[in-house]
Chain A
Amino acid sequence: MPLMYYLGLSAFMFTIGILGVLLRRNPLVVFMALELMFNAANLAFVAFAAFHKVLDGEIFVFFVITTAAAEVAIGLALIIAIFRTKHSVDIDQMSELKG
């Protein structure tokens, strides 16, 4: 299959991710949208690596997966901390900070 098919899918996933981050109000769903964006980049890396026959891109993906896991750990911990304090995680209700 030509490179453009993979890149098209990757760009599509990235766009869905952006829309999810901007439009959804539950931090867990926003979180999933963020993962989608990271994986869109991963798909692009693998597609380019196969196209150019250079291994760098595939190795990059391993690093990204590892980093994403570290981010999940921190992100979920923050969400749990906030849930314990206010028993809700709706982003629209997070309005302590304004000016």
Chain B
Amino acid sequence: MSLSDLMMVLPIAFTLVWALVLLLIDLWLPRERQGILALLTALGLAVALGLDLAQSGRSGSAFRDMVVLDNFAVFLNALYLISGLIALALGYDYLKRMEMERGEFYALLLFSIAGMMLLTQANHLILVFLALEFLSIPLYVLAGFARPRLESEEAALKYFLLGAFSSAFVLYGIALVFGATANASLTGVIEAVRSGSAEVGFLTAGAVMLLVGFGFKVAAVPFHEWAPDVYQGSPTPVTGFMAVATKAAGFAVLMRIFLNLFPGLATSLTPIFWGIAALTMIVGNLLALAQSNIKRLLAYSSIANAGYLLMAFVPYGNAQVAGQAISSMLFYLLAYGLTTFGAWAVVVALEQAEGRGLTLEDYAGLGPKYPWLGVTMLIFMLSLTGVPLTLGFWGKFFLFRTAVAAGYVDLAIIGLLTSVISAYYYLRIVVIMYMRAGEPRVRRDGWLNLVAIGTAAAVVLLSVVPVQMLELTARAVLHLP
């Protein structure tokens, strides 16, 4: 190990060390001074973000090819770190008033983010598995953080059992890929596949197992059953973090593995991706129609959005559109992340103790009573629907364009029709907010307002410069060995 190796994983190493330091500081802090820990965590995340952005443009591998660094990883690492900052801001007041302010929260959040960054940079199947567990295990605890509230404990156990179930699939898939190629390093597997020494039967079975395992992680239909329960029961800032960062990490590793390892299997895997993408869009949007709890509604919305994102994977074996697919996927992740986090901020503002304030009726009268919050929620709902010229519209537009360019017009049409369906439940919230009289109870908190207004401003401003944003994401290329 040399210093240059360490430089490649500096943001990860820093985040880890910072998390350990926070655990130590927590021992000395009196209980009523926990706010200091939140500020220190924010400082650590900001420094890690700076270190990460300083790496943009560099590429290479380190630790005997165990990790790689490319702009793809730099972009996604920045996304995870910013998600961490937003989750922290959402949790600052929430943890206090829900009486669950414990110091572990911050360390667990940082551990999970370090795991996500490692997963994105992993270039060896051992590391893929370890990083996957490393990001999941702190999240199981975070899901149950509202202990002793029963919903939260139940959510944690469900998340844990299904998370371990999906990890077992990923592990078995890795075993089969290893068996097919006698290699566990991604570089080695790629060489074995290219030279034709790989056993195609095992390789295909392994790829399908990996797809099932990661399908659970990103909550794609038919592996989505856990998501609404877990999203509903977890503390809301954690839910927002899971919906954005965990999903992005799942898609990142799926992209790196499938694009690199299995380009030759595209003919047999593309129909599977097609089916999962179509099912996820249709089922996610249809089930969202029937929800009366805002957390469950947003959970199904996030399932539906996973379907749109999966559209980028369908043409993955087609080298001509691969670059376009990656950049449109990253653009969509950014647009979805900003919009979703904003919506979760509004949910946090209206949530009361004991899980009250979460039904759609609780939003009645929000628009006239709290104009700022109402307008931000309106922006998020319009963007999630994909109303033309919003950020969400551009995200979907670029994804559909990729699908059409690769010859999957049918998939783009399904995406378009399901977006029309989704307008019903997104705009229903807007109608309730503005057309019905009510007395919404809103928690005023500076950090919360900052997140809501900041993300709303970002959604509006970025929608003005979609082409420049796409060029930015197009620079975040995947390192192909």
Contact A60 B178, CB 8 Å, known A85-B150, A99-B291: yes
Asked whether B165 lies within 8 Å of A57 as measured between CB atoms, the reply is: no
In the assembled complex, how far is the CB of residue A81 from the closest CB belonging to chain B, in whole angstroms? 5
**How far apart sit A75 and B153, CA to CA, in the bound complex (Å)?**
11
Asked whether A34 lies within 8 Å of B228 as measured between CB atoms, the reply is: no
Q: Mark B380-405, 1 if CB is under 8 A from A, else 0.
A: 00000000000000000000000000
We find that the number of chain A residues with CB closer than 8 angstroms to chain B is 42
Q: Which residues of B contact A81 (CB under 8 A)?
A: 144, 147-148, 153, 156
What secondary structure prevails in chain B residues at the interface with A? Answer: helix
Asked whether A82 lies within 8 Å of B157 as measured between CB atoms, the reply is: yes
In the assembled complex, how far is the CB of residue B170 from the closest CB belonging to chain A, in whole angstroms? 9
Asked whether A99 lies within 8 Å of B184 as measured between CB atoms, the reply is: no
In the assembled complex, how far is the CB of residue B147 from the closest CB belonging to chain A, in whole angstroms? 6
Q: Is A1 part of the binding interface, using a Cβ–Cβ cutoff of 8 Å? A: no
Asked whether A38 lies within 8 Å of B137 as measured between CB atoms, the reply is: no
**How far apart sit A78 and B179, CA to CA, in the bound complex (Å)?**
35
Q: Which residues of A contact B176 (CB under 8 A)?
A: 44
Stretch at the interface among B16-24, B125-133, B314-322, B452-460: B125-133
Asked whether A78 lies within 8 Å of B233 as measured between CB atoms, the reply is: no
Closest to A52 in B: B182
Asked whether A74 lies within 8 Å of B157 as measured between CB atoms, the reply is: no
Asked whether B175 lies within 8 Å of A34 as measured between CB atoms, the reply is: no
In the assembled complex, how far is the CB of residue A33 from the closest CB belonging to chain B, in whole angstroms? 9
Asked whether A48 lies within 8 Å of B175 as measured between CB atoms, the reply is: yes
**How far apart sit A30 and B158, CA to CA, in the bound complex (Å)?**
11
Contact A64 B129, CB 8 Å, known A48-B178, A57-B178: yes
**How far apart sit A63 and B125, CA to CA, in the bound complex (Å)?**
12
Chain B interface category by residue count: 35 or more
| Chain B contacts with A in 271-291, Cβ cutoff 8 A | 290-291
Q: Is A96 part of the binding interface, using a Cβ–Cβ cutoff of 8 Å? A: yes
Asked whether B154 lies within 8 Å of A60 as measured between CB atoms, the reply is: no
Q: Is B160 part of the binding interface, using a Cβ–Cβ cutoff of 8 Å? A: yes
Contact A96 B140, CB 8 Å, known A37-B168, A41-B168: no
Q: Is A59 part of the binding interface, using a Cβ–Cβ cutoff of 8 Å? A: yes
Q: Which residues of B contact A64 (CB under 8 A)?
A: 129, 171
Asked whether A82 lies within 8 Å of B161 as measured between CB atoms, the reply is: no
Asked whether B172 lies within 8 Å of A74 as measured between CB atoms, the reply is: no
Asked whether B175 lies within 8 Å of A17 as measured between CB atoms, the reply is: no
- Contact partner, B179, options A34, A37, A44, A79, Cβ 8 Å: A44
- Contact partner, A41, options B126, B171, B293, Cβ 8 Å: B171
- Contact partner, A97, options B160, B171, B182, B229, Cβ 8 Å: B229
**How far apart sit A56 and B233, CA to CA, in the bound complex (Å)?**
40
Asked whether B126 lies within 8 Å of A71 as measured between CB atoms, the reply is: no
Asked whether A54 lies within 8 Å of B182 as measured between CB atoms, the reply is: yes
Q: Which of A44, A47, A48, A97 lies at the interface centre, i.e. has the most chain B CB atoms within 10 A of its CB?
A: A97
Asked whether B133 lies within 8 Å of A44 as measured between CB atoms, the reply is: no
Asked whether B158 lies within 8 Å of A94 as measured between CB atoms, the reply is: yes
Contact A74 B140, CB 8 Å, known A37-B168, A56-B184, A96-B154: yes
**How far apart sit A28 and B182, CA to CA, in the bound complex (Å)?**
35
In the assembled complex, how far is the CB of residue A73 from the closest CB belonging to chain B, in whole angstroms? 9
Q: Is B164 part of the binding interface, using a Cβ–Cβ cutoff of 8 Å? A: yes
Contact A27 B157, CB 8 Å, known A48-B179, A74-B137: yes
Closest to A77 in B: B141
Q: Is B296 part of the binding interface, using a Cβ–Cβ cutoff of 8 Å? A: yes
Asked whether A99 lies within 8 Å of B172 as measured between CB atoms, the reply is: no
Q: Is B249 part of the binding interface, using a Cβ–Cβ cutoff of 8 Å? A: no
Q: Which residues of B contact A52 (CB under 8 A)?
A: 179, 182
Q: Which residues of A contact B172 (CB under 8 A)?
A: 14, 37, 40-41, 44
In the assembled complex, how far is the CB of residue B200 from the closest CB belonging to chain A, in whole angstroms? 16
Closest to A79 in B: B157
Contact A34 B165, CB 8 Å, known A52-B182, A64-B171, A78-B153: yes
**How far apart sit A82 and B182, CA to CA, in the bound complex (Å)?**
43
Closest to A70 in B: B137
Closest to A7 in B: B179
Identify 15 new A-B residue pairs, CB closer than 8 A, beyond the known A44-B175, A63-B126, A96-B151: A14-B172, A34-B161, A37-B172, A41-B172, A45-B175, A48-B175, A48-B179, A60-B174, A71-B133, A74-B137, A78-B144, A81-B144, A94-B158, A97-B228, A99-B232
A-B contact pairs, 6 of them (CB 8 A): A27-B161, A41-B172, A70-B137, A75-B160, A81-B147, A99-B290
- Enumerate the 7 nearest inter-chain pairs by beta-carbon distance, A residue then B residue, closest first: A48-B179, A37-B168, A52-B182, A44-B175, A97-B229, A41-B171, A99-B296
